[in-house]
A = this chain, B = another copy of it.
Amino acid sequence: MDSGDELRAKFMEFPYVSGSQRNLMVELLSSVDSRLGSSLQPCTLPPDVQHFENPTGSARASLHLRSGLPSSQIDFILGGWIHCELPSGGALNITSLSAYLKPSTDAPHFLLELIQSSPTSLVLILDLTPRKDLILYSDYLKTYYEDTNLDKHRQRLQTLPQVKPYLSPSLYIRAVVSPTAILVCIDTEDDETTNVEDIIRDHVGPIAKELLQFWIESCACLERRVGEAERDYLAERDRIIKTKTIEVDLGSSFPRLFGQEVADRVLDVLKEYYSK
């Protein structure tokens, strides 16, 4: 069986995506390691959940999950990649990084997903997910989204002609993200001078790194005073967010990509972490 270090090295290879996407993911995960590593446990996922594939080998994936130490505000951080050959001849490649905080703080969670289903098209989801109802808690909207001018990242990206708004088919996903969420489709099919790889390197990368930096310093590392009743509220709302994320995102795609048996094995383990 592979050792923890070997499994982590295999995860960090991101073997199926372009150079700029791989570099971005490695840089983001290195930032997490260097700034938050001392607050995190090593990955405790079973080896066959850290790497798995479907029976025919046409779909492969790697997951790396690190829980926060008891003293940390971090619940867990999950990185992953999925590669799946498509019947049409191309491939679907997803790389993601999500980070959840504990109810000891009300600061937003972090979410990044890069979904590439063709060489000329990329869906980008990048957000600091709110932990509270932004209507009932208007201070929260002000503190994390208005006063920080968080919308500037989306505005910057939206100036590119290849970038179009992306609307998730899931109403739950539309409802859970923040009003400054970056949900875009980057399409370079009609563009002979710029490709998706360039746009990741020159535009998506700098924005993702800046947002992760902000999340690390102002959300994960900054202590917030949260009262008892508020903790219960956050814990319950987070429980729903995590249950729904498994159900809507992974639960619907994993059986299709990896077959029911592999999907069940992986999802059962993930559910334990998501429901802690």
Residue among B165, B175, B237, B241 making CB contact with A141, cutoff 8 Å: B175
- Asked whether any CB of chain B lies closer than 8 Å to the CB of A179, the reply is yes
Q: Cβ of B133 and Cβ of A145 under 8 Å apart?
A: no
- On whether A240 and B180 interact (CB within 8 A), knowing A133-B133, A151-B171, A165-B165, the answer reads no
- Asked whether any CB of chain B lies closer than 8 Å to the CB of A236, the reply is yes
Q: Cβ of A240 and Cβ of B138 under 8 Å apart?
A: yes
Q: How far is the CA of A180 from the CA of B146 in the complex (A)?
A: 23
Residue among B136, B145, B179 making CB contact with A236, cutoff 8 Å: B136
- Asked whether any CB of chain B lies closer than 8 Å to the CB of A209, the reply is no
Q: Please give me the residue from chain B that is nearest to A154 by CB atom.
A: B167
Q: Cβ of A171 and Cβ of B176 under 8 Å apart?
A: no
Q: Cβ of A175 and Cβ of B236 under 8 Å apart?
A: no
Smallest Cβ distance from A137 to chain B, in angstroms? 9
Smallest Cβ distance from A97 to chain B, in angstroms? 21
Residue among B138, B151, B165, B244 making CB contact with A172, cutoff 8 Å: B138
- Asked whether any CB of chain B lies closer than 8 Å to the CB of A135, the reply is yes
Q: Please give me the residue from chain B that is nearest to A177 by CB atom.
A: B179
- Asked whether any CB of chain B lies closer than 8 Å to the CB of A271, the reply is no
- Asked whether any CB of chain B lies closer than 8 Å to the CB of A134, the reply is yes
Q: For residue A201, which residues in chain B have a CB less than 8 angstroms away from its CB?
A: none
Count identical subunits in the complex: 2
Q: How far is the CA of A3 from the CA of B146 in the complex (A)?
A: 46
Q: Please give me the residue from chain B that is nearest to A170 by CB atom.
A: B179
Number of interface residues of A (CB under 8 A): 24
Q: For residue A180, which residues in chain B have a CB less than 8 angstroms away from its CB?
A: 171
Q: Flag A152-173 by CB within 8 Å of B: 1 or 0 each.
A: 0000000000000101000110
- Asked whether any CB of chain B lies closer than 8 Å to the CB of A174, the reply is yes
Q: Flag A36-64 by CB within 8 Å of B: 1 or 0 each.
A: 00000000000000000000000000000
Q: For residue A171, which residues in chain B have a CB less than 8 angstroms away from its CB?
A: 134, 141, 145-146, 151, 179-180
Q: With a 10 A CB-CB cut-off, give which of A133, A135, A141 has the most chain B CB atoms.
A: A135
Q: For residue A138, which residues in chain B have a CB less than 8 angstroms away from its CB?
A: 172, 240, 244
Q: How far is the CA of A172 from the CA of B138 in the complex (A)?
A: 8
Residue among B136, B151, B178, B241 making CB contact with A237, cutoff 8 Å: B136
Q: With a 10 A CB-CB cut-off, give which of A133, A134, A141, A178 has the most chain B CB atoms.
A: A133
What are 12 sample pairs from A and B whose C-beta atoms fall under 8 A apart?
A133-B136, A134-B171, A134-B172, A134-B175, A135-B237, A136-B237, A138-B172, A138-B244, A141-B171, A141-B172, A165-B165, A175-B179
Residues on A facing B (Cβ under 8 Å): 133-136, 138, 141, 145-146, 151, 165, 167, 171-172, 174-176, 178-180, 236-237, 240-241, 244
